[in-house]
Structure 1
């Protein structure tokens, strides 16, 4: 009998040559012969998922978990792809096995729980309030399901009405309310005592394990206050728009993420050298100095620092509150190659430094003068250096512009009451109303998220010719688009495999047929001439 690695390599070779059905059978044979060989399970599950058989892929990972009992590292390695598969499910009936899978994945603090919010909420539609999945869902995820939100508000109000702070669901409901920044409508009756934690941050909590998730959130806020005061600064914003944007993110740092990105070790310099239009000869040599211009709460900056420890990362933002959140996360992860600095992108020259690479994701479109903002970034970039930009698409943001018009019409302000009133209106709309699509955004379900989504202090949306002009005006050359696999597939289907992915006119034609293809942002790689 061949050894497991040999059988495994044989299956891998079949997969590489496109003989996928044969590869699947070969992976299965290797596991039959060597049922404790973890890479075989991961490969077989991945191939089954690639072939569209999600149920089989999940079954393989469940079998792997059974084999890995007592091996924490192996179980985490299995739960990561399992969580990815589960996230796409939308069950229409109760499934005890799925509930057990979700509890296990949500309990793994190394996994990002938020992608599992949709499937968990869909399953909980078919559960009673005593099911053990409720507390772990409410303390680990922000709910993004309108029907579950309505049910949670009823559950909250019933407990307030009963005056029972000892109900086992109260601590989890309080944690959920704190996580979404109390975005739900206020109850008719004002709660007393410990029940006030359901509608506002509590001043103290009992020494009870059930209240520990909320206690940790509150402790994190205290830590961030201390960190914010110690963040170094190189400038304060001068422009009125910048002042308003800073004020927004000081009040509502966004996003308040939980688990760090699943960063894979990468030679970042090699990644840049592989971009389709890069001038490799002009690219600065490694080790690279990276500027994150507008880092917010640090998710991207921390991801970059983790994927390549040789990078020296400087992350800049207007908001001390956002930077403090980022610093707390970086400290918890033990990241040594990153520093956070408060300041205005327009004053980057005051840093007195130059960089090899810069990223600015979702930032320029919130500036009064995006051209000046990009010029400032490019000004501290070495010649031949690379910058990644991400901008709002004019076409994809049509529902947001419609929301802006409705907000102006009703006179809702960008405060808690205005945001709650807007949300109540959107939740009341029929499914076919154009604004109802906003309910599909995760950002709709928290106060900071909804403010960023439709109540932002300032934003603009870009058409493709405007993007081309922005890049050219900054002395940059487009070297690639950072598009999703779906977008790349559609681009090839419309324009052919030989089409130049740097041709923005071709992307404009594609987006005209698929208007929400860039519902997130349009991300581009450019090189300084």
Structure 2
């Protein structure tokens, strides 16, 4: 590996000391003096983005891409931060440079394309749809649309094709793939569809042999492979109660989410991450090799991320849904991940596994249980003293629009089927921008049938305030050892309470969230430890 040049090392020292303006100037000198040293570009761009100067950050990454031409590994290293920058943009007009940036990211099959769906849609709305347009093709084949105006455009294109009856239209295979990827979440058309055109409105049973239909044929084959895998998934316990059965049936019908690109492969010693938690009892931490339980793994994204991150881990991932586990198993096999197994069963029956684990994660699961306290107790029961659990729960403040949606759904009598979801979405899409429920259009989950069901039609959902999280942890006989929020939330905490405030105090976090109610729009993530 090439040694870092002196200006780069100086910039790193300045950045660590908090002298960011000087660090940025030093990084710029490093890039000027050593234009082939890629880390200099990445560091300069990252610091500019941290300071809110996205224009400079983008320009630096574009220069880095030009320097890395012909080096696939280097170009991929640049595309990852480039994609993160692009995802936040909302272009008001066509921009050829942005088009090139988006295309280079969307054609990298190691990058998750979905975060780029909204910015790509916003740009494409300033162009004419065409099957031979590279960015339109990349968008329709790799992303699920998450832009309401683009949805209206795509639905109009679908209806136009159905009216014309033209089964040879070049856009048809691409539009059919987009409809399939969203699980036919668009409102059903009043126009009958036959032959190849029927793929626009329901899953195809037969497809033309034309190569243009191959991407959709591949997706259909993936579903068939998962149906073959599902019965072979081992099971350790039946559903614990009727609610577990209802939740299982929800995800059997539509595993969620059906992700495409895997997490970035980042090699990390998980125990080192645990040792950095502010309240952790390091002496009580289990020693490697570590056994990790993912309690409620869904389609496996987090479980596979952990297994790839630390190959010394032995990962057991459980879920109620065989269909979800089959999706995860197919992805694990494709990635060649050997240190993971998938088992069907109920969190409430973990003791039936007859195994012990050193670490457990349960992201977005307990808040869907009738008795979250019993679920946490079951997880804690299979950990030894010193074992660690990572949880993530819905925020009461951030989920206020979802609670309003639940009330609306109950009032209108909409069911959690395709007709009910279509009716709900039509109502939300028609709302003026200032309506409190219009914010649901900003959720990616709104744009697929399984996502919308999970967002607004879940059979059981509970929301938490920070003090309730503290009580949940204490009630299970555990110790809160760290919150794990996004950098923005950490910055808000520091701004309000100072750098020396106790990061384990739920009341301090509650005060921050009171001022920024959507700060934990995803979930509130935190760590707890079983006392030694």
Q: Residue 155 of structure 2 aligns with which residue?
A: 153
- Deviation, 1:436, is 0.9
Corresponding position: 1:361 with 2:371: no
How much has 1:469 moved relative to structure 2? 2.3
State the 1:457 CA deviation: 1.3
Match of 1:341 among 335, 340, 343: 343
Q: Which residue of 1 aligns with 2:219?
A: 217
TM alignment of 1:465-504, pairs within 5 A: 465-504=467-506
Count of residues in Structure 1 that have an aligned counterpart in Structure 2: 527
Query: Matched residues in 1 for 2:96 and 2:194: separation?
Result: 37
Moved more, 484-493 or 183-192: 484-493
Moved more, 180-189 or 50-59: 50-59
Q: Which moved more, 1:299-308 or 1:391-400?
A: 391-400
Q: Does residue 270 of structure 2 align to residue 268 of structure 1?
A: yes
Q: Distance in 2 between matches of 1:508 and 1:43?
A: 33
Partner residue in 2 for 1:55? 55
Residue 185 of structure 2 corresponds to which residue in structure 1?
183
1:43 aligns with 2:43: yes
Where do 4+ consecutive residues of structure 1 move more than 6 Å? Answer: none
- The 5 Å alignment of 1:408-487 reads 408-487=410-489
Distance apart, 1:358 and its partner CA: 0.5
In the TM superposition, what is the alpha-carbon distance from 1:491 to its structure 2 partner?
1.7
Using the TM superposition, give the Cα deviation of residue 121 of structure 1 relative to its aligned residue in structure 2, in angstroms. 1.1
Displacement after TM superposition at 1:77 (Å): 1.2
Give the conservation status (yes or no) of the 8 Å contact 1:4–1:30. no
Deviation at 1:6, TM superposition (A): 3.4
TM-score (norm 2): 0.96
SS at 1:383 equivalent: coil
Structure 1 residue 191: Cα displacement: 1.4
Which consecutive residues of structure 2, in runs of 5 or more, have no partner in the other structure?
Answer: none
Give the Cα separation in 1 of the matches to 2:148 and 2:119.
13
User: Which stretch of the first structure deviates more once superposed, 421-430 or 59-68?
Assistant: 59-68
Contact in 2 for aligned 1:490/1:510 (Cα 8 Å):
yes
Q: Which piece of structure 1 moves more, 385-394 or 492-501?
A: 492-501
Aligned to 2:110: 110
SS of aligned partner of 1:358: strand
Query: How do 1:44-443 residues align onto structure 2 when only pairs under 5 Å count?
Result: 44-130=44-130, 131-443=133-445
Kindly state the Cα deviation for residue 411 of structure 1 after the two structures are TM-superposed.
0.6
In 1: Cα distance, 2:300 partner to 2:292 partner: 14
For residue 470 of structure 1, report the CA deviation from its aligned partner. 1.6
Q: RMSD of aligned C-alpha atoms?
A: 1.5
Q: 1:98 to 1:498 in 2, by over 3 A?
A: same
Counterpart Cα distance in 1 of 2:211 and 2:21: 50
> 2:5·2:34 contact (CA, 8 Å) conserved in 1?
no
Partner Cα separation in structure 2 for residue 470 and residue 16 of structure 1: 37
Aligned residue in 1 for 2:512: 510
- Look up the SS of the partner of 1:109 in the other structure: coil
Residue aligning to 1:6:
6
Distance, in Å, in 2 between the alignment partners of 1:32 and 1:461 is 51
Pairwise CA distance, 1:374: 0.9
Deviation for aligned residue 1:43: 2.2
Instruction: Please identify, of 64-73 and 400-409, the stretch whose mean Cα deviation from structure 2 is larger.
Output: 64-73
Q: Distance in 2 between matches of 1:375 and 1:4?
A: 49
**Structure 1 residue 330: deviation in Å?**
0.9
Unaligned 5+ runs, structure 1: none
Report the alpha carbon displacement of residue 4 of structure 1 after superposing the two structures with TM. 6.8
Q: Contact 1:4/1:34 (CA < 8 Å) preserved in 2?
A: no
State the alpha-carbon separation in 2 of the partners of residues 20 and 490 from structure 1: 19
Q: TM-score, normalised by structure 1?
A: 0.97
Does the CA-based 8 Å contact 2:257-2:451 persist in structure 1?
A: yes
